[in-house]
């Protein structure tokens, strides 16, 4: 296998997507199969610890719905909208689909393991995980490590793990860990259940160490404070208070739903902290081995740099790390609506000491990495581009022409909406379905794109994107056209969800509380 991978590196560099070299190296000891049989699991939110969302196999055509399963057994609607962030499904190398499922009206969760080929349930396990206090319902998001261990959130800031996620045994063995010590948890279980809550997706590095944010709302015997936790592959935990990641005593918590990201060498951990719901915040860089603070940057508005950006707990924006180490993170503008509620995609170097060209849209979105070779019309100097939502909300002063976009992070233009200097648009495409609620006043208004992380498929030079019209689309980056469509539902306004690609190329999308598997 090692020689086969070296052949890929040496003879077919175009096949090795930027950012995947570390992933391939991390799998060298995980399989003895030949290069052609390598399967890269979709291991967490936005695929990799860098959140690149790049598919490792060609996605299947969007011909039909192969199977579907609810991800919410009791969805709670707000009028015609569904304001809940669902956790990302995971795909193991053996094509087991791990689905996080909400079971009750206000909470209650389980993980289900399904056979990817049929959707049949292999096993399901409930968890005592309790949501932190929230406005929009936050996500319950597990992770797979490179050794195929599954971690998912439990009550009191604990995590459960399963070392046999591919089993068909209906009752696989489940273990439990606490970053502050399981003996402390068992000695005072009720105190921790009442006061400690995991509040972000869980991220794993290439060694099997995991990271997540947590909130503390009351006193605990070991005096925990809201912060960032790490549990190593041996089960040993450590943590740092959010207030200790910056020199600002007002910072009190990790941003809700913000999945920790890792640098390409896995030595630096990136996370966002703020001073409370819809407050100001910082992007922080920590030593991934010790959680010692390295550096941080206060997040500012692009148009009015004197203003703090709004770092909102209702979103799911998470740091994305480019192949060159640059870090991207979405925020809301301040004042609200001054950029049509689109926010900004802030852009920094790997040390967070240099501020670089921002993107014109950042709200509730994690940028996907697009190798520049996937866009034949691009002739700039960037080795990679970014894919983001590009909605222009009528409700916030926009024209309702909601788009998705490919942006150049190294070159700029004057944004026609804000007048700010932002990343240059390479490609954009509007949603195809008229928004009947707004077309009387805005004749070109279309339904918005509802993705928080969109899968990029290098093999077909396309992006897989979900829309509030209830349809899943393939955006072809060669023709700049929506070349394939599959209707999932009749459409609904909802909080944003991910699209992913399985190890067999099946495409997965969530719409109206249901996970759909779509393929040939």
Same domain assignment for residues 1 and 140: no
What is the pLDDT confidence band of residue 12, given thresholds at 50, 70 and 90?
A: very low
What digits encode the pLDDT tens for the residues 43-90? 999 999 999 999 999 999 999 999 999 999 999 999 989 999 999 999
Q: What is the mean pLDDT of residues 502-514?
A: 98
Beta strands 81-82 and 493-494, pairing class: parallel
Q: Domain with 249 in it: what CATH number?
A: 2.130.10.10
Q: What is the mean pLDDT of residues 98-123?
A: 98
What digits encode the pLDDT tens for the residues 296-328? 999 999 999 999 999 999 999 999 999 999 999
CB 151 within 8 A of CB 140: no
Same domain assignment for residues 145 and 26: no
For the chain, the helix, strand and coil percentages under 3-state DSSP, each to the nearest 5 = 10, 40, 55
Percent of the chain residues past pLDDT 70, beyond the cut: 93
Weakest-pLDDT range from 15-29, 104-118, 197-211, 362-376: 15-29
- Give me the phi and psi of 472, to 5 degrees please: -100, 130
Average pLDDT, the chain: 93
Structural domain for 21, as ranges: 1-38
Alpha-carbon dihedral sign for residues 271, 273, 277, 278: negative
Element (H, E) at 6: helix 2-11
Same domain assignment for residues 66 and 47: yes
Radius of gyration of the chain (CA): 21
What digits encode the pLDDT tens for the residues 439-451? 999 999 999 999 9
Alpha-carbon dihedral sign for residues 346, 510, 146, 520: negative
Q: What is the mean pLDDT of residues 385-411?
A: 98
CB 297 within 8 A of CB 348: yes
Residue corresponding to tokens 């991934």 = 288
Same domain assignment for residues 23 and 85: no
What digits encode the pLDDT tens for the residues 18-44? 444 344 433 433 333 333 345 789 999
Strand runs labelled E in 85-226? 90-91, 96-102, 109-115, 121-127, 143-144, 150-153, 158-162, 175-178, 196-198, 203-204, 210-216
Same domain assignment for residues 54 and 20: no
Q: Please give the pLDDT value at position 278.
A: 83
Same domain assignment for residues 399 and 475: yes
Same domain assignment for residues 266 and 311: yes
- The pTM of this model reads 0.93
Same domain assignment for residues 469 and 434: yes
List the 514-519 sheet strands across, edge first. 64-70, 514-519, 507-511, 497-501, 451-453
Strand partners, 102: 72, 109
Same domain assignment for residues 26 and 77: no
Same domain assignment for residues 137 and 95: yes
What digits encode the pLDDT tens for the residues 241-283? 999 999 999 999 999 999 999 999 999 999 999 999 889 999 9
What DSSP state is assigned to residue 448?
P
Report the chain's terminal Cα–Cα distance, integer Å.
Answer: 30
Number of domains into which the chain is organized:
2
Q: What is the mean pLDDT of residues 98-127?
A: 98
Same domain assignment for residues 22 and 147: no
Q: Please give the pLDDT value at position 38.
A: 59
> Based on the number of CB atoms within 10 Å of its own CB, is 492 exposed (0-12), middle (13-18) or buried (19 or more)?
middle
Helices (H), 133-288: 182-187, 189-195
Same domain assignment for residues 101 and 231: yes
CA 176, 317, 506, 464: dihedral to nearest 10 degrees? 180
Q: Please give the pLDDT value at position 209.
A: 98
């Amino acid at each position: 296998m090692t020689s086969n991978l070296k052949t890929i590196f040496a003879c077919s560099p175009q096949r090795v997507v930027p950012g995947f070299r570390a992933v391939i190296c991390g799998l060298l000891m995980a399989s003895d199969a030949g290069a052609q049989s390598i399967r890269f699991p979709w291991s967490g939110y936005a695929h990799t610890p860098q959140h690149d969302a790049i598919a490792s196999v060609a996605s299947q055509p969007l011909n039909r719905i192969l199977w579907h399963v609810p991800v919410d057994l009791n969805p709670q609607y707000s009028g015609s909208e569904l304001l809940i962030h669902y956790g990302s499904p995971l795909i193991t190398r053996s094509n087991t689909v791990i689905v996080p499922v909400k079971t009750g009206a206000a909470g209650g969760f389980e993980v289900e393991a399904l056979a990817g080929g049929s959707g049949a349930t292999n096993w399901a396990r409930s968890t005592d995980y309790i949501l932190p206090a929230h406005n929009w319902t936050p996500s319950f998001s597990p992770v797979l490590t490179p050794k195929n261990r599954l971690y998912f959130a439990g009550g009191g800031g604990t995590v459960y793990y399963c070392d046999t996620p591919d089993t068909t045994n209906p009752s696989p063995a489940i273990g439990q860990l606490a970053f502050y010590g399981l003996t402390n948890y068992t000695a005072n279980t009720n105190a921790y259940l009442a006061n400690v809550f995991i509040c972000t997706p869980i991220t794993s590095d290439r060694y099997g160490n995991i990271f997540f944010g947590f909130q503390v709302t009351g006193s605990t015997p070991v005096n925990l404070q809201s912060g960032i936790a790490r549990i190593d592959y041996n089960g040993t935990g450590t943590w740092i208070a959010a207030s200790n990641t910056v020199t600002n005593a007002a910072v009190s918590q990790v941003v809700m739903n913000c999945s920790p990201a890792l640098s390409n060498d896995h030595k630096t951990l990136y996370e966002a902290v703020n001073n409370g719901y819809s407050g100001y915040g910082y992007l922080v860089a920590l030593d991934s081995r010790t959680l010692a603070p390295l550096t941080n940057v206060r997040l500012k508005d692009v148009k009015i740099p004197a203003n703090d950006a709004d770092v909102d707990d209702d979103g799911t924006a998470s740091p994305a790390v480019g192949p060159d180490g640059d870090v991207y993170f979405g925020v809301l503008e301040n004042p609200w609506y001054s950029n049509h509620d689109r926010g900004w995609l802030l852009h920094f170097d790997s040390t967070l000491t240099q501020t670089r060209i921002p993107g014109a849209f950042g709200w509730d979105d994690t940028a996907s990495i697009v190798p520049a070779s996937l866009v034949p019309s691009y002739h700039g100097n960037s080795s990679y581009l970014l894919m983001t939502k590009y909605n222009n909300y009528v409700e916030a002063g926009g024209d309702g022409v909601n788009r998705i976009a490919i942006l150049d992070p190294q070159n700029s233009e004057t944004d026609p909406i804000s007048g700010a200097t932002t990343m240059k648009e390479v490609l954009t495409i509007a949603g195809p379905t008229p928004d009947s609620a707004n077309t009387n006043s805005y004749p070109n208004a279309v339904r918005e794109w509802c993705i928080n992380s969109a899968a990029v498929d290098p093999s077909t030079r396309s992006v897989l994107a979900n829309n509030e019209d209830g349809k899943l689309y393939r955006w072809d980056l060669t023709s700049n056209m929506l070349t394939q469509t599959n209707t999932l539902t009749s459409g609904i306004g909802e909080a944003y969800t991910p699209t992913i690609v399985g190890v067999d190329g099946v495409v997965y999308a969530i719409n109206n509380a249901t996970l759909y598997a779509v393929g040939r």
